[in-house]
Amino acid sequence: VDYAPNLLEMAAETYKDMKDIYLIAANAYRLPFRDEIFSAGVSIRVFHHMNLPQKFLEECARTFHAGGNMLMEYSNKRNLWRIFKPGVKPFEKNHEEYAELQYGTHPDFFAQITRTADFTALRTLGTGFFPRFVSERTKAIPPVLAFLEKIFDHTFGRIQLAPMNFSLLTKEASSAAIKAQKIGTLQDILQCPACHGALADATKDMNCLSCKKIFPKLGRIIDFRC
């Protein structure tokens, strides 16, 4: 899933021989997936673009059944480099906009909104201390930087002082009974992102049976952006 079709086209080329991978263009706040359908997921280099982070987490949680796990990466504003950088406020517990649609998140704020979204953080580890120092001028020392990264990951990364945090989330169980959903086709997973109606698969597009919206197929990509 991505909002950018050009990135999905790159993925289509990478996985051209794997026919059981589906490529979905979608709005992260209106995912075209049924409720409680997934058991696992990964979100990498996405959260720091979310201006409505709790809405994004709630939408992700909606699609997971109880006990489902999601690995979520986010940019940690309370990292070692920002603590010693003058003029910044790394200890403010918020979702801070560094630049247009570029955000850093305090770990305590992230924990708060994940709980509100019915996720529980099982474990969080950090990394990304030294990649910023890799350039044409330093291309001779990546082994040294890799060694330093390993040390910092196992020390400062474990106490959430790294630039990038990876948090393993699990969907909390509700009081309602969870029924196993039978999945036979792609339509058993998808729903209309506009009205949550069922979809019909056609040769050139997918059509909502309720609101009649049409979602075009662009090669292997299905465009659900709305």
SS3 label, residue 31: coil
- List the structure tokens of 118: 């019915």
pTM value > 0.85: yes
Indicate the Cα dihedral angle 127, 130, 136, 139, nearest 10°. -90
Q: Per-residue pLDDT for 177 more than 50?
A: no
Q: Give the tens place of pLDDT for each residue, 193-202.
A: 999 999 999 8
pLDDT, one tens digit per residue, over 98-129 is 999 999 999 999 999 999 999 999 999 999 99
For a pLDDT cut of 70, what percent of the chain falls above it?
96
Residue 168 near residue 184 (C-beta atoms within 8 A):
no
Containing H/E element for 59? helix 53-62
Q: Which H or E run contains 153?
A: helix 142-155
Which residues lie below 8 Å from residue 108, measured CB to CB, with a gap of 6+?
A: 93
Q: Check if the beta carbon of residue 93 is closer than 8 Å to that of residue 116.
A: no
CA distance 61 to 119: 7
